[in-house]
Chain A
């Protein structure tokens, strides 16, 4: 059994994130690049604001504006406002437009995003921050996979930050495409002849309003076993019950979930899910090694903090991440704004790679 790569991981939740970033970014040698989404999502500016406050002119920004076919005019207007705010917060920035879909509706966002990010000059930086808050996972995950390698090669710190607001996620409705596919860079051996006999375990992260999406993924994966992930502990302690109620038909008819198969993972703590998935993988590998092996497929369609946990597990063990890209979004901004007024933005920070884990390499540009 291998020791998990992030068994000892530096991460911060909620208020601790702000405290940590305040101290960390106050170090005068820090030169920071923030990669974030400049979309309609009201959380778009939260991390940029923090970085601007504590790193000032030492912060640079690279903002991706995800473009989807026929966007709603309100969304475009909100995205314009957020883009403007981001430019003001981090003046040393550039904004790139990213077509998530090709003309034939094929999902190309992940591949294009990596191409864009790979063209960035990282030489004079010390820290890379990827803000998940307003990026879709089909774009953010490939970027992180690319940056993880780049950061390790160049001795940079790589941080993931997410403004986790499950209620905001629930208020943003998406129209999904009808194709379930692996996220770019996260195929994890899916479809290879060598894995044709593997026992497939699908671990969908349950979330409100995602039934049809998960059904599409299930039809594609056709797993042998299911382990749905429920957020617990969660802000709303009744959420797991509500989700079980929403997915009652799947639990009983199609997935046939045994209560012992349910995985509970802390809604705000990515490490909880990460460790659980790795533990399960270790057990399954042992059991199935002689009969074709085991393959775990993840589908992090719910809270962003949990998605970070799934990402970390997939980065470490090369799991397949299956998802369905959103063709478009809609939101009732009146109720969204009302919800956000009543709550403070809780940030989750995971220090993924860099000086916290190994002696820092001297960056030529920084010396």
Chain B
């Protein structure tokens, strides 16, 4: 059975309609609406950064001309209308006509090769820039041709003052420009692919010739429509340089600087993960909502670049809520591609995931009650006090519903231990002396959460279930969400085939999600993954230990180190900074900077969803164990082979 959840969105790239059917308009609106409406997406360099699977390539692909064309062809179909609206809000469409001619250039590794050449840096940049430009030009023209535009109907509109040098790019006619670009590409390809780089003097003339279409082209004018009814469109070329993190960091900066020049008239986006940055920049990029460490003479960051972070930063609650919306929308689109489910009108993932609790078995419940009784005896808590706690628990409501019996018992156990702590130990006057605690103890959400986690740790009582938990466990990463959802959808489909109900019990969801989380971690193989895994495991182990404290005073899923210490990491602990950089880049951890707590400022190193699932920690944010850079470094040292 084909499960679309198991395929990355980018795998649908070949067929525009199939691709558009699974793209949610939510991220487009969330990330690009504001800069698009302000016109900042097309008049300056846009830097998009995100973790793998955060939807960078999907966004880029959406702005490519063939997608825009397919969208407009199907604009009357209700599924696509939201996307048309989202692209219009971003300024890519106006009056149901495209305004940009987007072309995605995966930088992958070809361009990195130039850095290895024994040439001066200016020449290396020149060769790389020429190849990028030639391929962008070819991409634009190829997309127009695929959209049915005849080469004779394409004209280049040079920017003012560049008319005299238009011959450098082959002229103004589409065919001539393509011919020139093809020759340049071929010459550069041969240089790039040569086993041994040719001497500088032996470089072919096409490779070193002045070829600067980005400096010359302002618009591409096309005549579209049937003969006799042709209309003219003026499109702003958009070069989307995807996977720019593959470039050498210095090469990345040079290219960034080159693209940030104000005289360029074409729109240009650079999309990258965090790997390309130096640790101090990568960490700064996620610890400051709008940060660009690089400063260049004559360039002011705000005016020359627009930074879009496609991952958690800024207002966290808003991000989580927004991601839940995106994920649910995306899941609906994927479910519609599964006939087995869609034919039964099962196109809402939440409907497949039961959120009914799975209580302990009667024997487990009896064991739990005995342990609570034993705790009461050991702590010498008066019966009247326990009765008060039990009354409080009985009155406590979650979503207007009383808590289950087992959770209630676990809550009482937590409250007994909190009481013991706050009264300063058992009374000298026997167990029926009902002392008053220093602070009142109430059955609240913190006690409830601690109780559920204790039940998870002691009895493996299902904790992760329901659509919201699924979304939260994905660390706001679309690909991780799909990977987790895939296993649930697959199981649901299997149940349908076996004539069973499609919905999955809490116990099944919990088991599948934890298994999947572990599998994903086992499959990590990114740079520094061993050290990242050790670090994450070390943090998780301490969080588990703290969570298991009987008074449930804290349910952490993060380490917190003081912000001022964190700021010095790249210099004081460069290796740790490097590991953290990759941990962040690959969703193993999330940094929450400037987190206020106890009148101090902290930087939280929060565990990613997969680590949380594997180790059985809370999905709720904010709880952290105080730590130091030394402790984290020691975790790395302990792991050294």
Is A338 among interface residues, defined by CB-CB distance under 8 A? no
Structural contact, A187 and B193, CB atoms closer than 8 A: yes
Is B142 among interface residues, defined by CB-CB distance under 8 A? yes
Residue of A nearest to B249 (CB): A104
Shortest CB-to-CB span from B139 to chain A, Å, is 8
Is B11 among interface residues, defined by CB-CB distance under 8 A? yes
Structural contact, B249 and A115, CB atoms closer than 8 A: no
Binary A-proximity of B1-26 (CB < 8 A = 1, otherwise 0): 01100111011011000000000000
Is B185 among interface residues, defined by CB-CB distance under 8 A? yes
Q: How long is the Cα–Cα vector from A191 to B7 in the complex, in angstroms?
A: 23
Interface positions, chain B 166-195, Cβ under 8 Å from A, are 181-182, 185-186, 189, 192-193, 195
On chain B, the number of residues with a Cβ less than 8 Å from chain A's Cβ atoms is: 41
Is B373 among interface residues, defined by CB-CB distance under 8 A? no
A102, A181, A220, A222: the one within 8 Å of B13 (CB): A222
Structural contact, B248 and A104, CB atoms closer than 8 A: yes
Structural contact, A179 and B109, CB atoms closer than 8 A: yes
A184 CB contacts on chain B under 8 angstroms: 195
Structural contact, B135 and A105, CB atoms closer than 8 A: no
Is A85 among interface residues, defined by CB-CB distance under 8 A? no
A189 CB contacts on chain B under 8 angstroms: 189
Name 30 A/B residue pairs within 8 A (Cβ), A-sorted: A70-B641, A72-B641, A104-B248, A104-B249, A105-B527, A115-B196, A118-B196, A142-B195, A145-B195, A175-B529, A176-B525, A177-B526, A177-B527, A178-B525, A178-B526, A178-B527, A182-B109, A184-B195, A185-B193, A187-B110, A187-B189, A187-B192, A191-B189, A192-B189, A193-B142, A194-B182, A222-B11, A253-B3, A253-B6, A327-B527
Interface positions, chain B 98-132, Cβ under 8 Å from A, are 108-110, 112-113, 115-116
B8 CB contacts on chain A under 8 angstroms: 219
Is B86 among interface residues, defined by CB-CB distance under 8 A? no
Q: How long is the Cα–Cα vector from A194 to B135 in the complex, in angstroms?
A: 11
Is B409 among interface residues, defined by CB-CB distance under 8 A? no
A105 CB contacts on chain B under 8 angstroms: 275, 527
B113 CB contacts on chain A under 8 angstroms: 111
Binary B-proximity of A135-157 (CB < 8 A = 1, otherwise 0): 00000001001100000000000
A179 in contact with B246 given A114-B195, A185-B195, A253-B3 (CB within 8 Å):
yes
Q: How long is the Cα–Cα vector from A327 to B628 in the complex, in angstroms?
A: 30
**Of residues A114, A184, A191, which shows the largest number of chain B Cβ atoms within 10 Å of its Cβ?**
A191
Interface positions, chain A 71-109, Cβ under 8 Å from B, are 72-73, 102, 104-108
A367 CB contacts on chain B under 8 angstroms: none
Structural contact, B185 and A193, CB atoms closer than 8 A: yes
Q: How long is the Cα–Cα vector from A187 to B185 in the complex, in angstroms?
A: 14
A363 CB contacts on chain B under 8 angstroms: none
Q: How long is the Cα–Cα vector from A328 to B530 in the complex, in angstroms?
A: 11
A222 in contact with B527 given A102-B248, A104-B249, A192-B189 (CB within 8 Å):
no
Is A212 among interface residues, defined by CB-CB distance under 8 A? yes
Q: How long is the Cα–Cα vector from A254 to B246 in the complex, in angstroms?
A: 26
Is A289 among interface residues, defined by CB-CB distance under 8 A? no
Is A242 among interface residues, defined by CB-CB distance under 8 A? no
Structural contact, B10 and A219, CB atoms closer than 8 A: yes
Q: How long is the Cα–Cα vector from A17 to B527 in the complex, in angstroms?
A: 40
A106 in contact with B109 given A193-B135, A193-B185, A254-B7 (CB within 8 Å):
yes
B2 CB contacts on chain A under 8 angstroms: 253
Binary A-proximity of B517-538 (CB < 8 A = 1, otherwise 0): 0000001011101100000000
Shortest CB-to-CB span from B322 to chain A, Å, is 27
Q: How long is the Cα–Cα vector from A108 to B109 in the complex, in angstroms?
A: 11
Is B349 among interface residues, defined by CB-CB distance under 8 A? no
Interface positions, chain A 155-214, Cβ under 8 Å from B, are 175-179, 181-182, 184-185, 187, 189, 191-194, 196, 212
Structural contact, A212 and B523, CB atoms closer than 8 A: yes
Interface positions, chain A 227-269, Cβ under 8 Å from B, are 253-254
Interface residues of A (CB under 8 A from B): 69-70, 72-73, 102, 104-108, 111, 114-115, 118, 142, 145-146, 175-179, 181-182, 184-185, 187, 189, 191-194, 196, 212, 219-220, 222, 253-254, 327
**Of residues A72, A114, A193, which shows the largest number of chain B Cβ atoms within 10 Å of its Cβ?**
A193
Residue of B nearest to A70 (CB): B641
Is B138 among interface residues, defined by CB-CB distance under 8 A? yes
A73 CB contacts on chain B under 8 angstroms: 641
Residue of A nearest to B586 (CB): A178
B526 CB contacts on chain A under 8 angstroms: 177-178
Q: How long is the Cα–Cα vector from A105 to B585 in the complex, in angstroms?
A: 14
Q: How long is the Cα–Cα vector from A212 to B519 in the complex, in angstroms?
A: 12
B11, B116, B195, B276: the one within 8 Å of A108 (CB): B116
B138 CB contacts on chain A under 8 angstroms: 193
Residue of A nearest to B189 (CB): A192
Residue of B nearest to A101 (CB): B527
Residue of B nearest to A256 (CB): B2
Q: How long is the Cα–Cα vector from A192 to B181 in the complex, in angstroms?
A: 11
Shortest CB-to-CB span from B182 to chain A, Å, is 6
Q: How long is the Cα–Cα vector from A194 to B181 in the complex, in angstroms?
A: 11
Q: Closest 5 A-B residue pairs measured CB to CB?
A: A181-B109, A193-B138, A187-B193, A185-B195, A72-B641
B181 CB contacts on chain A under 8 angstroms: 193
Residue of B nearest to A254 (CB): B7
Structural contact, B185 and A192, CB atoms closer than 8 A: yes
B112 CB contacts on chain A under 8 angstroms: 106
B110, B142, B523: the one within 8 Å of A191 (CB): B110
Q: How long is the Cα–Cα vector from A146 to B194 in the complex, in angstroms?
A: 10
B3 CB contacts on chain A under 8 angstroms: 253
Residue of A nearest to B110 (CB): A191
Q: How long is the Cα–Cα vector from A106 to B189 in the complex, in angstroms?
A: 19
Shortest CB-to-CB span from B105 to chain A, Å, is 10
Structural contact, A194 and B186, CB atoms closer than 8 A: yes
Binary A-proximity of B259-295 (CB < 8 A = 1, otherwise 0): 0000000000000000110000000000000000000
Shortest CB-to-CB span from B242 to chain A, Å, is 13
B189 CB contacts on chain A under 8 angstroms: 187, 189, 191-192
A253 CB contacts on chain B under 8 angstroms: 2-3, 6
A114 in contact with B109 given A105-B527, A219-B11 (CB within 8 Å):
no
Q: How long is the Cα–Cα vector from A175 to B193 in the complex, in angstroms?
A: 26
A182 CB contacts on chain B under 8 angstroms: 109
A175 in contact with B196 given A104-B248, A222-B14 (CB within 8 Å):
no
Residue of A nearest to B276 (CB): A104
Q: How long is the Cα–Cα vector from A111 to B114 in the complex, in angstroms?
A: 12
Structural contact, B116 and A196, CB atoms closer than 8 A: no
Q: How long is the Cα–Cα vector from A189 to B529 in the complex, in angstroms?
A: 33
Q: How long is the Cα–Cα vector from A181 to B189 in the complex, in angstroms?
A: 15
Q: How long is the Cα–Cα vector from A90 to B52 in the complex, in angstroms?
A: 48
A146 in contact with B195 given A176-B525, A192-B189 (CB within 8 Å):
yes
A187 CB contacts on chain B under 8 angstroms: 110, 189, 192-193
Q: How long is the Cα–Cα vector from A181 to B135 in the complex, in angstroms?
A: 18
Shortest CB-to-CB span from B605 to chain A, Å, is 22
A104 CB contacts on chain B under 8 angstroms: 248-249, 276
A192 CB contacts on chain B under 8 angstroms: 185-186, 189
B7 CB contacts on chain A under 8 angstroms: 254
A106 in contact with B195 given A111-B116, A181-B108, A253-B6 (CB within 8 Å):
no
